[in-house]
Amino acid sequence: MATMSLVDVLSQCANIDTSVARRVIVEGRVKVDDRVVDDPAARLPNEHGLPS
């Protein structure tokens, strides 16, 4: 069984790019629609457009 990094796991589970996952983990924030989101309760929409 291959070992996956936290970045890989988050990017697959949340269906987001690994660069976004890395920023979330390393910086604790991510830029969404030109706004910096650092609220832990903030959610990125999933593939169905429903909140995670």
Segment 29-51, tens digit of pLDDT: 665 566 666 655 555 555 555 44
Residue 27 binned pLDDT confidence (cut-offs 50, 70, 90): low
Q: How many CB atoms lie within 10 A of CB 21?
A: 21
Q: What is the rounded distance in angstroms from the CA atom of residue 3 to the CA atom of residue 5?
A: 7
Per-chain mean pLDDT for the chain? 65
Domain positions in the chain = 6-34
Query: What pLDDT is attached to residue 16?
Result: 73
